[in-house]
Amino acid sequence: MNDLAALKADLEGLAIEDNPQIVRQKSRDFFWYSPVLKRQLDEVCADIVVTVTSEAEVIRVLRACYAHDVPVTTRGAGTGNYGQAMPLSGGVVLNLADMNKVLEVSTGVVRAEAGAIMSTIDDAARPSGQELRLHPSTYRTATIGGFVAGGSGGVGSINWGGLRDFGNILRLRVVTMEAEPRILELSGADLHKVSHAYGTNGVITEVTMPLTAAYDWVDVLTGFDSFAEAARFADALANQDGLLLKEIAPIAAPVPHDYFLRHQKFIRRDQSVCALMVAPFAMDAFSAFASRFGGVEILYRSDLASDEDKQGLPPVYELAWNHTTLRGLRVDPTLTYLQVLYPFPDHVEKAVHLAELLGDEAPAHLEFVRFDGRNTCFGLPIIRYSSEDRLEEIIRIHEDRGCPVFNPHCYTLEEGGMKQTDAVQLAFKKEADPKGLLNPGKMIAWENPDFDFSSDQTYLFPGLAR
Ligand code: FAD
C-alpha cells in the first residue's frame, strides 16, 4: 500500500496494529470451512488493523482512508464463514471488538454498540426478564454488528423467522465512507440497505434490537432409529403451537455419536438425533407429545441431568447450526458443508429424499425455522468432500430437486445468497461508498455490473491477483 506511512500519521493516537502475525490473524475468519475458499483466500491479508473504541474514531478512520484511497474491511469477532470479513484488497481491517457497550435496555428493546457480544447483551437484558429473540450458535463469541451485517438467523428462528424479516432489527446507526463521513439512522425498510451487506456500504456503529421473554431453556436430545423419523418428529413438534421451543435440529447418524464427543456417552452410533431447546414450563407437555408421537427416546435433558453428567457439556445450541459442522471438522478436517433451503410444504419429503439419495456422503442436518409464517427447514448437510467437481454436482443434485443452495463456498454476497443483484444495497453503496473502498470484492453488482448470474461461472475478484 503506497500511502501507509501517511495514513498512519493521520491516524496517530489510535490503536494501530502492524505486527504481521496479528494482522494476518485479524484478516481471517472461518473461511477454511470451505476447501474452495481455503484455496482462494489463504493468502489474503490486510496491511494494518485499527481498533476503535467510539463512533468518533470510526469516522476518523473512514475519513483518512477515503483521503488516501485505502480499502476498509470491518470486523466484529471474525466468526463469519465465507471470508466475509477478509480484506481481499488489503488495506485496513477496522476492528470493532472494543466498541462493545450495552447502552440501554427497556421493555422489548435493547440498544448496544456494534461490537457487543450477543451473550453479553443477554446478560444485560436478563435482570429485566428479557433476552434477544434470535442469535447465531456463535452467541458467546460473535458481535451483534457482525450478526446484522453477516448473519441470517439461528437459534430462535423457529419462532421469529430470519434476521432480515421485518421487526427483527429495529434501528441501525451507520457511518458512510465519504470525504466527510455522515452518520445515518436507518429504520423500517431502510434497514435492508445494510443488513446482510457484509459491511460493503457502511459501518454499523450502533444496533437496536427487539427483546422477548427470557427462559432457562432446557437442553434436550432425543434419539431415533432413522433420520426420516427424526425429521418427521421435528416437523410435528414445530407445528405444535402450544409448545414453546427455541431450537429444533434433526441430525442424521452417525454425526451425533461421532462428532458430539462430550455428548457421545448418551448416543448410540446408529441413532439420529433431534437437538432441542424447550421452555422449562413446557417440559411436561413436551414429554407427553413425544410419547404420543412414538419411537422417541429421550437421551438427555439438562433439567434432570446430574451435575456429573452436565460437567463439561456445551449448550445444545453449540451442537446446532454451524457448530454441527465445526464439531465434525474437529474430528475430520476433510469435511465441509452446504446450506440448503427445503421449501414448504414438502420440505420434509425433500430433505429425507436427498438424505437417502446421498447417504453417508452427505449426512443430513436440518434447522427448523419459521419462514413467512410457515414452518419449514434449512439444511446444513455435512459433506464428505472429495473434489470441487463433486461438490458442484452435489449442489446441482439439490437444485434440480427444487432445493436452492446458498453456496458457502463463494465469498460474494450474490453467490452466497439469491444469485441476483440486490438493487437496494447497490444503490446505497453508490451513495455511501462512492469510491468502492468498503470490503472490496464482495458485491459483484458493484465490481462487475455485467456479470451473468445465470451462467455457471464463479465470480473471481480481480483484486485477489494481488
Ligand atoms: P464478522 O465475522 O466479524 O463479520 C461478518 C460480516 O459483517 C463481515 O462481512 C464484516 O465485514 C461485517 N461486519 C462486521 N461488523 C460490522 C459492522 N459493525 N458494520 C458493518 N459491517 C460489519 N451465522 C448465522 O447467521 N447463524 C448461525 O447460527 C451461525 N452459526 C455459526 C456457527 C459457527 C461455528 C460459525 C463459525 C459461524 C456461524 N455463523 C452463523 C456465522 C457467524 O458466526 C455469524 O454470522 C456471526 O453473527 C458473525 O458475527 P461476527 O461478529 O463474528 O462478524
Whether the ipTM is more than 0.95: the answer is yes
pLDDT at 1 exceeding the cut of 70 = no
In degrees, to the nearest 5, what angle opens at C-alpha 12 toward C-alphas 6 and 18?
A: 75
pLDDT at 80: 96
**Mean pLDDT of the region 430-453:** 95
The grid coordinates listed for 250 are: 434433526
pLDDT at 466: 63
Percentage of the chain lying above the pLDDT 90 cut: 94
Mutation pick for ligand 1 pocket among 30, 34, 75, 378 (CB with most ligand atoms within 8 Å)? 75
Report phi then psi at 109, rounded to 5.
-140, 140
**Ligand 1 geometric centre to CA of 116 (Å):** 12
Residues with CB under 6 A from ligand 1: 29-30, 73-81, 84-85, 96, 114, 136-138, 142-143, 145-147, 149-154, 198-199, 203-204, 321-323, 326, 439
Residue with grid cell 429485566, as numbered in its chain: 128
pLDDT at 2: 57
pLDDT at 182 exceeding the cut of 70 = yes
Q: Return the domain boundaries, the chain.
A: 218-400
Q: Determine the Cα–Cα distance for residues 47 and 420; give it in Å rounded to an integer.
A: 32
Residue with grid cell 433439567, as numbered in its chain: 303
At 402, which helix (H) or strand (E)?
Answer: none
pLDDT at 457: 80
Q: Tell me, what DSSP letter sits at residue 438? A: B
pLDDT at 418: 82
Give, in words, the CATH class of 218-400. alpha beta
**Ligand 1 geometric centre to CA of 333 (Å):** 22
pLDDT at 365: 98
Label residue 455 by pLDDT band (50, 70, 90): confident
Gyration radius (Cα) of the chain, Å: 22
Buried b (16+ CB within 10 A) or exposed e, 272-305: bbbbbbbbeebbeebeebbeeeeebebbbbbeee
pLDDT tens sequence across 405-432: 999 999 999 998 888 899 999 999 999 9
pLDDT at 359 exceeding the cut of 60 = yes
| Residue bearing the CA closest to ligand 1, atom 33 | 322
CA distances in angstroms from 13 to 9, 121, 280, 385, listed in the order given: 9, 29, 51, 47
Number of helices and strands (H, E) in the chain? 16, 19
**Ligand 1 geometric centre to CA of 321 (Å):** 13
pLDDT at 380 exceeding the cut of 70 = yes
pLDDT at 419: 86
- Asked if 176 and 74 count as a contact pair (C-beta separation under 8 A), the reply is no
**Mean pLDDT of the region 437-446:** 97
pLDDT tens sequence across 217-234: 999 999 999 999 999 999
The grid coordinates listed for 247 are: 431450537
pLDDT at 456: 74
**Ligand 1 geometric centre to CA of 250 (Å):** 23
pLDDT at 463: 83
**Mean pLDDT of the region 163-190:** 98
At 360, which helix (H) or strand (E)?
Answer: none
pLDDT at 325 exceeding the cut of 70 = yes
The grid coordinates listed for 379 are: 439444511
pLDDT at 78: 98
**Mean pLDDT of the region 84-104:** 98
The grid coordinates listed for 360 are: 453417508
- Count of other CB atoms within 10 angstroms of residue 269: 10
**Mean pLDDT of the region 152-169:** 97
